[in-house]
């Protein structure tokens, strides 16, 4: 095993470094290496192009074409249109495992306010037919660029590994349906089912140049729930002639908080948040209905089931107690299962990255209540893990920590990754992980 790890480190150095100086300074391996230096200007240009030209979920046609053309130029067998605008590239290199690297491709309906010279001014049409501003506010442009960088380095170093490299460009991550759409379209049946799946996600709460891993539950079940409460409208001066859905909604919002506070085991993380409440048109009019929008988060499947059932039970009970003319409508509009990182795979890759990037730059982190549909690949029976790559300029991160202030988060119109350091670390992380899993034995 020791000789295998030594060969891996040599292979990683050959692909990523190419210089003795880089090997002597592990913490600077990825950023300072010659192999990455040679392609970095091209990657930076790609990143800026992707950032300027984001596309909304299910509309990633031009983005997918850019990924496709680059994979084809590297010698990959490429299939397009998988589960929408999904892209699958295969690079076969003898007998060995199949390793899947995933990058998500969609942007968000956010108006960019970073002031960057390459800021997005793109407009798009959302699912409701509305024209909206579009931005890569979650770093999918970082993911794609790092993914192309890793594909390039690995394609140029085929003597260092054996097996099949499977590059998956995934659409519609933000809506939580992209991974499932690709699976339903035969991702693991039309193509080789991978032995391992790996992805990165940039982090707005981690210094650039650093990598974070989370064994086990890393991201949450996420469900979007719409509740429509029905009443009997009328004049605000004569409430006794009405059934006021605003009052029912207010009682419902308060009662929903008892689900986490009194029904859920406090050792099982759970969140029930009412993020939106709409009803009425004027001061003196009691409306016929009120709409609530909730986000519901958990890790365990049984907790998820109980939370959703409790929401419907409470909404119906409050409506019945008020004499509502009919029960509320409760609809789950979006859902993404929790991401459970395979513990053995996660620790294996963390160790490999620690050797390549420096142990101090690779650290274990806490689980979060955000969501990621990368979870679907693990639930489909593939050992899978996703790592965080820091995106915050180190001095800005340290200053914010010292002052106790918040930095722009993912999905913020002000989110702007520390471009070069983040991209270099992303490329290195994907490449080293692939080499660890595809290394000659």
As given in the structure block, the two tokens for residue 50 are 């992707």
* Span 105-142, pLDDT tens digits: 999 999 999 999 999 999 999 999 999 999 999 999 99
Gap between the Cα atoms of 341 and 303, Å rounded: 19
Q: How confident is the model at residue 66 (pLDDT cuts 50, 70, 90)?
A: very high
Domains (ranges, CATH) in the chain?
A: 2-220+338-438 (3.40.630.10), 221-336 (3.30.70.360)
Q: How confident is the model at residue 34 (pLDDT cuts 50, 70, 90)?
A: low
Query: Has residue 3 got a pLDDT over 80?
Result: no
Query: Has residue 4 got a pLDDT over 50?
Result: no
Give whole-number Cα distances, 157 to 15, 91, 161, in Å: 6, 12, 8
Gap between the Cα atoms of 26 and 20, Å rounded: 11
Nearest to 287, CA basis, from 258, 246, 331: 246
Query: Has residue 12 got a pLDDT over 60?
Result: no
Query: Has residue 30 got a pLDDT over 50?
Result: no
Average pLDDT over residues 286-315: 98
Note the pTM of the prediction, 2 decimals: 0.92
Strand segments, DSSP code E, in 251-395 are 270-278, 285-286, 289-298, 329-336, 339-341, 362-364, 384-392
Average pLDDT over residues 44-54: 98
Gap between the Cα atoms of 44 and 131, Å rounded: 29
Gap between the Cα atoms of 266 and 117, Å rounded: 47
pLDDT of residue 85: 98
Query: Has residue 369 got a pLDDT over 80?
Result: yes
Q: Among residues 104, 173, 373, 376, which one is catalytic?
A: 173
Q: Among residues 55, 60, 106, 195, which one is catalytic?
A: 106
CA atoms within 13 A on the CB side of 94: 9
Give whole-number Cα distances, 362 to 209, 346, 352, 389, 440, in Å: 9, 12, 10, 9, 24
Query: Has residue 33 got a pLDDT over 80?
Result: no
Q: How confident is the model at residue 32 (pLDDT cuts 50, 70, 90)?
A: very low
Give the DSSP letter string of 396-437: HHHHHHHHTPPPPPTT-TT----HHHHHHHHHHHHHHHHHHH
Task: Give the lowest-confidence range in 82-91, 224-233, 432-441.
Answer: 432-441
Beta pairing class for 196-207 and 384-392? parallel
Catalytic (active site) residue 106: yes
């Amino acid at each position: 095993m020791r000789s295998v790890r030594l060969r891996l480190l040599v292979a990683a150095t050959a692909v990523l470094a190419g210089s003795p100086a880089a090997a002597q300074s592990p913490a600077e391996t990825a950023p300072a290496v010659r192999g990455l230096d040679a392609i970095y200007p091209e990657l930076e240009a790609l990143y800026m192009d992707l950032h300027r030209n984001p596309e909304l979920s299910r509309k990633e046609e031009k983005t997918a074409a850019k990924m496709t053309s680059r994979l084809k130029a590297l010698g990959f067998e490429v299939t397009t249109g998988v589960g929408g605008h999904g892209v699958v590239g295969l690079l076969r290199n003898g007998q060995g495992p199949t390793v899947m690297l995933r990058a998500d491709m969609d942007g968000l309906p956010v108006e960019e306010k970073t002031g960057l010279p390459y800021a997005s001014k793109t407009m798009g049409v959302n699912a409701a037919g509305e024209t909206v501003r579009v931005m890569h506010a979650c770093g999918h442009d970082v993911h794609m660029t790092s993914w192309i960088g890793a594909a390039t380095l690995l394609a140029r170093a085929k003597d260092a590994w054996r097996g099949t490299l499977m590059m998956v460009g995934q659409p519609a991550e933000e809506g939580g349906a992209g991974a499932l759409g690709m699976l339903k379209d035969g991702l693991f049946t039309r193509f080789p089912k991978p032995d391992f799946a790996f992805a990165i996600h940039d982090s707005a709460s981690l210094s650039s140049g650093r990598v974070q891993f989370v064994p086990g539950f890393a991201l949450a079940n996420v469900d979007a729930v719409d509740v429509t409460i029905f009443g009997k409208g009328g004049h605000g001066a004569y409430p006794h002639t009405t059934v006021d859905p605003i009052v029912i909604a207010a009682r419902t919002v308060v009662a929903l908080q008892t689900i986490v506070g009194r029904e859920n085991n406090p050792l099982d993380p759970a969140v029930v948040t009412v993020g939106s409440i709409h009803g009425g048109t004027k001061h003196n009019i009691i409306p016929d209905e009120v709409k609530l929008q909730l986000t519901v988060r958990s890790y365990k499947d049984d907790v998820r089931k109980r939370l959703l059932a409790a929401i419907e039970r409470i909404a119906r009970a409050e409506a019945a107690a008020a004499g509502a003319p009919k029960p509320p409508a409760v609809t789950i509009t979006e859902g993404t299962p929790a991401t459970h990182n395979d513990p053995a795979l996660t620790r294996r890759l963390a160790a490999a990255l620690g050797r390549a990037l420096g142990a101090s730059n690779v650290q274990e982190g806490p689980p979060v209540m955000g969501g990621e549909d990368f979870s679907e690949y693990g639930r489909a029976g593939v050992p899978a893990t996703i790592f965080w790559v820091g995106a915050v300029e180190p001095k800005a991160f340290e200053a914010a920590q010292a002052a106790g202030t918040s930095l722009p988060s993912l999905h913020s119109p002000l989110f702007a990754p520390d471009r070069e350091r983040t991209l270099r670390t992303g490329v290195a992380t994907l490449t080293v992980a692939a080499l660890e899993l595809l290394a000659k034995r």
